[in-house]
Chains A and B, each alone.
With several copies, the nearest count.
Chain A
Amino acid sequence: MQALLDVYKIRQDFPILSRKLFDGKNLVYLDNAATTQKPKEVIDAISRYYSEYNANIHRAVYQIAEEATEEYEKTREKIRKFINARHSEEIIFTRNTTESINLVAYAWGGSNVKKGNKIILTEYEHHSNLVPWQVLGRTKGAKLNYLQVDNEGYISLEELDKIISITGEGKTKLITLSEMSNVLGTIFPVKELIKLAHDKKIPVLLDGAQSVPHMPTDVQDTDCDFLAFSAHKMLGPTGVGVLYVKKEILEKMNPFISGGDMIKEVHKENTIFNEIPYKFEGGTPNIADVIGFGAAIDYLNEIGMKNVREHEVKMTEYLMSKLTEIKSIKIYGPKRSEDRGGLVSFNIEGIHPHDCATILNDFGVAIRSGHHCAQVLMEKLDIVASSRASLYIYNTKEEIDILIDALNHARRIFKT
């Protein structure tokens, strides 16, 4: 493991970073919280699968099917190690974070959440960790309780404690929250929260869509019960998500998607389901992309997640310091860089984020503008939208300088 990551060397592994845009500009990709770019190792792993051993897995006995099964299951083991889970059966492949959370809402929530129960979440949740619970709540007659978020994105454990107490013993069935806000960038120290929840026998789901890609993850250390994240936000292909569930819980969980592969015996009137994790992977999986995700994990391990985090902290500090110099800019989220992931949301007075993003595009700069799938938080912040620049391992200070130039250009156009 190298001491610090060599961003210029890393950049050479990403074909898209040498692409020229419409007018010959380089791509300055600062929308990594939406999805990251892919190194050639990942792209090649997918091509290699299709060119050399594409076959349906688990059941066939011929050579390429056995090769495919082996590579697919290897990725499961890689992920187990990456998040330090105890057992590889605790790793379920889904399409994305959203499906992972829906799986929990349908399969676990469906039989564990009853009328009059509560689910606690925060005001900064991404729609993917909010709407499924709203839908479940409506179906079951259960209520959602939102933990307040202050302007920097902090939530209070005292408030949590109070909500649980008021709700009454045994009524709160789940606490679900994002380990890192995709708008404010706030990293929540979940360990303490999980301890508090477990003391009251409440399981905790972590939406790790933003945290797992950017810092070391250890599910045994945090002791979370569920963890959801997406491959495409961590160098992996689109179409693969992960749901980690503690074995004790998973073994008792009903299936979600039913059909081929997740069964042991099917009769006209009843079905015996397969063992975990297969019970939760109905139908032909996204074999190629799971294998591609394995290559992404290898790539990240090679760099080291501590180095990823270190690079982002350094870059975020630079980004924050440069943004702060812009006149009439408002920056959201924590001030302390240790408390934030590698993303910064902001608004420049008089320039709507969409207009800002359109102007930035002229400079080849790709940022996100909008509500970032967090409308409840937007309402709380009393804004419709914000601009968001989000970083990853291949971003440089030079790119941040181009962003700043572009923002100043936008200010000139809008005469602010």
Chain B
Amino acid sequence: MSEDIYREMILDHYRNPRNKGKIEEPDIRINDSNPLCGDEISIDLKVENDVIKDIKFDGRGCAISQASASMLTEMVSNKPLTTIKDLTKDDILENIGLTNLGPARIKCALLSLKVLKLGMVKYYVDKDPSSADEMKDQSKVY
């Protein structure tokens, strides 16, 4: 039922998103959209010694995609970049407390994770182009 989905926490993050905006001269800037609904998320990262020093997101979309992005920035802020690699679909869904979303809405919830993973891949591949093959499937989240 949607009362379970649209709990206070989600609505709060939706209305008062954390870490929303842009970083000037980010180390990573990446964006993607959900072809099914048009939701957009862009993420900027500042990385120092492979640690996420700053993270900001921007975007347009539904409460789930925006709240999930907001919570995700809190999850990874000040964590090693490699944390992103290990983050799974289930981590996100549990973190935002939405473990029984339907398949269409799951993509809303996971869009920001997908963007973040894309950013990480890009970061590593830019640094070391020979890792492209190995990193290829790292941005898959669903």
Contact = CB atoms under 8 A, between A and B. Distances in A.
Do A and B share a direct contact in the complex (Cβ within 8 angstroms)? yes
Interface string A234-267: 0000000000000000000000000000011100
A194 B4 CA distance: 53
A264 B35 contact: yes
Contacts of B85: none
Interface stretch (B44-52, B56-64, B70-78, B88-96): B56-64
Interface residues of B, number: 23
Please classify the interface of chain A as helix (H, G, I), strand (E, B), loop, or mixed, using the class held by over half of its residues.
mixed
Contact of A354 (B1, B64, B103): B64
A338 B5 CA distance: 40
Interface in B28-50: 33, 35-40
Nearest to A363: B2
A6 interface: no
Contacts of A378: 38
A10 to B, nearest CB: 30
Given A263-B35, A265-B33, A384-B38, A70 B103 contact: yes
Interface string A84-100: 00000000000000000
A375 interface: yes
Given A65-B104, A352-B61, A352-B63, A414 B6 contact: yes
Contacts of A355: 6, 62-64
A370 B37 contact: yes
Interface core residue of A70, A265, A275, A352 (most chain B CB under 10 Å): A352
Contacts of A362: 1-2
B6 to A, nearest CB: 5
A189 B37 CA distance: 30
Contacts of B63: 352, 355, 414
B108 interface: yes
B38 A371 contact: yes
B2 A370 contact: no
A310 B86 CA distance: 48
A58 B6 contact: no
In which size bucket is the chain A interface? 20 to 34
B73 to A, nearest CB: 19
A61 B6 contact: no
B76 to A, nearest CB: 24
A413 B62 contact: no
Given A359-B6, A362-B1, A362-B2, A414 B11 contact: yes
Contacts of B5: 358
Nearest to A262: B35
25 contacts: A59-B104, A60-B104, A61-B104, A61-B105, A69-B103, A69-B104, A70-B103, A264-B33, A265-B35, A274-B35, A278-B35, A352-B61, A354-B39, A354-B61, A354-B64, A355-B6, A355-B62, A355-B63, A358-B5, A359-B2, A362-B1, A370-B37, A384-B39, A385-B37, A415-B11
Given A361-B2, A370-B37, A414-B11, 16 more contacts: A58-B104, A59-B36, A59-B104, A65-B104, A70-B103, A352-B63, A354-B62, A358-B2, A358-B105, A369-B37, A378-B38, A384-B38, A384-B39, A385-B37, A385-B38, A413-B3
